[in-house]
Amino acid sequence: MAIAVRLRWCLQIFMLEACVVLTHAANLDYLRSTLTNYFSDTRHHAVKPEYKQRTATFIHDEFIRFGLETTYHNFVFDGVEYANIIGVLKGDNFGTYDDQIIGVGAHYDTVNVTKGVDDNGSGSAALLEVARQMTSLESKRKHTVIFTAFDREEYEYATFDGRFYGALGSKYLISQWLLPWIQKNYPQTVGTFSPYGIIVLDTLMDYNNSARSQIIPPDSLQEFQQLFPGVVKNLQSDNLQGDFLATIFRTQSDSRLANEFHQQWGKMGRADYEIEMFGLAPNLPDDVLNKVADLNRSDHINFWAKNIPAIFLSDSANLRGKMQDCYHHTCDSLEVMLNDDNLNFLAKTSDTIAATVDKLSQSYAAVSGAPGVGKTVLTLMTASSICVFLIQTASRL
Ligand SMILES: *[C@@H]1O[C@H](CO)[C@@H](O)[C@H](O)[C@H]1NC(C)=O
Ligand SMILES: *[C@@H]1O[C@H](CO)[C@@H](O)[C@H](O)[C@H]1NC(C)=O
Ligand SMILES: *[C@@H]1O[C@H](CO)[C@@H](O)[C@H](O)[C@H]1NC(C)=O
Ligand SMILES: CC(=O)N[C@H]1CO[C@H](CO)[C@@H](O)[C@@H]1O
């Protein structure tokens, strides 16, 4: 038989395998339809309460559809009722000393004047995509995973009595739901609990590879240089392109999570979608920290405050490209934010989160024959051996 025919078989088998592998990759249609149908208009209690409620119900129902143990955590602030949504994927170690919980969280609310597609529809869409991916494979895992959609991260009045009122949903979630839940389910571990931590997603899809589309705030350039010399050098030698995902973490407490995420990012392909690691050393002086407060502006700070590891992923919001004008404005909209590059960038981030959480939670194929990771590797090996055989026999003819 002609070698060309055999090579074609070979190619077909590989294409089949590529399809199997692709079931692990982000579903662009799901990301697109989630953003379009549920995260393209204001989600604010006073401006569009029905739209916000509808989005919350969608997240809740999706969590249930994915088989997560799902619950609302309601809280009241300043006379208004808010709702966090929580979905738990129990690992084999649930309830025992050995469980090392991993969280993924994003806020789904917006300020009162924006459509909030990038801030933070993108993080919420990634949150759902990660949950979808991780539950669509028939795999089990050793460690428990918690998915959380936070309410009331946003605020319009910063300081009516001199205090910070952002990121309230995660703050109340930790004190009113998470800590009591740990106490109830892991009573023997009190005081020794060591979770891997949580990956916080906020504003993820503004990819921009034009020169000078990334801003480093001029009045804190010196501090950024002092804290992250490698990052600043990379950006400057790259013409300040806004073509990377920023990963913010504390070198002392969050490195396990940050390093794994960084490694998985490297394995995902699309090297043009870059990553920069902003590792904060311990015991930095307050005056320096205050100058880089942009690293401080999402739900991760509440986990840090409770000594729970957390890494914060962001496109840097108003410091980049179109979000310079659209951040917290009407043009953070589908028309401006939803394009192929942004969607693929969001897909790479979702895939990396899923791979990171899969790895750290020690997932394994549940049933032999199920389309888990193990089976994919096995079929890939089979396919390659068949191909080697075909090529060898063909070359002998
Ligand atoms: C948004 O909130 C600010 C601060 O409370 C207020 O001044 C403004 O009128 C609000 N805008 C809308 C559209 O509700
Ligand atoms: C973040 O905010 C907290 C509380 O306001 C503050 O203690 C901390 O120093 C800030 N950290 C950074 C990195 O700015
Ligand atoms: C990239 O950013 C620049 C501003 O620096 C903006 O003018 C341009 O429209 C952006 N491009 C995309 C594709 O978002
Ligand atoms: C990453 C990011 O820009 N998040 C924003 C979400 O909204 C809060 C509250 O308005 C901002 O402080 C954050 O900067």
Q: Report which protein residue has its CA nearest ligand 1's atom 12.
A: 112
pLDDT at 166: 77
What is d(CA 20, CA 378) in angstroms, rounded to the nearest whole number? 11
CB of residue 293 inside a 6 A radius of ligand 2? yes
Q: Which domains occur in the chain, in start order?
A: 27-365 (3.40.630.10)
- pLDDT by residue (tens digit) across 150-203? 998 877 554 445 456 678 899 999 999 999 999 999 987 666 677 899 999 999
How many angstroms is it from 346 CA to the middle of ligand 2?
A: 27
Confidence check: pLDDT of 391 > 60: no
Confidence check: pLDDT of 370 > 70: no
Alpha helices in the chain (DSSP H): 3-22, 28-38, 49-65, 123-136, 168-172, 179-185, 221-227, 229-237, 255-266, 286-291, 300-305, 323-326, 334-337, 340-360, 373-396
How many angstroms is it from 346 CA to the middle of ligand 1?
A: 30
The predicted model gives 265-271 an average pLDDT of: 96
Best CA proximity match to 367, nearest among 144, 140, 142, 66: 140
Q: Catalogue the long-range contacts made by 292-298 (C-beta closer than 8 Å, 24 or more residues apart).
A: 292/220, 292/223, 292/224, 292/227, 294/217, 294/319, 295/248, 297/166, 297/167, 298/107, 298/153, 298/167, 298/200, 298/202
pLDDT at 190: 61
What share of the chain in percent tops pLDDT 70?
82
What is d(CA 300, CA 375) in angstroms, rounded to the nearest whole number? 36
Half-sphere exposure of 190 (CA within 13 A, CB side): 8
pLDDT at 9: 60
How many angstroms is it from 156 CA to the middle of ligand 1?
A: 7
pLDDT at 366: 77
What is d(CA 330, CA 87) in angstroms, rounded to the nearest whole number? 31
Confidence check: pLDDT of 283 > 50: yes
Q: Report which protein residue has its CA nearest ligand 3's atom 12.
A: 208
Confidence check: pLDDT of 118 > 70: yes
Most ligand 2 atoms within 8 A of CB, residue of 170, 223, 252, 296 to mutate: 296
What share of the chain in percent tops pLDDT 90?
69
Which residue matches tokens 């320096």?
A: 288
What is d(CA 270, CA 227) in angstroms, rounded to the nearest whole number? 28
Backbone angles phi and psi of 338, in degrees to 5? -90, 100
Please state the pTM of the whole predicted model.
0.85
Best CA proximity match to 197, nearest among 302, 314, 311: 311
Closest listed ligand to the CA of 220: 2
Beta strands 145-150 and 80-89 are antiparallel
Closest listed ligand to the CA of 110: 4
Backbone angles phi and psi of 335, in degrees to 5? -60, -40
Q: Cα 318 to the chain's mean position, in Å? A: 19
pLDDT, averaged across the chain: 87
pLDDT at 290: 87
Residue ranges lining ligand 4, Cβ < 6 Å = 111, 119-120, 153-155, 166, 202-203, 297-298, 314, 317
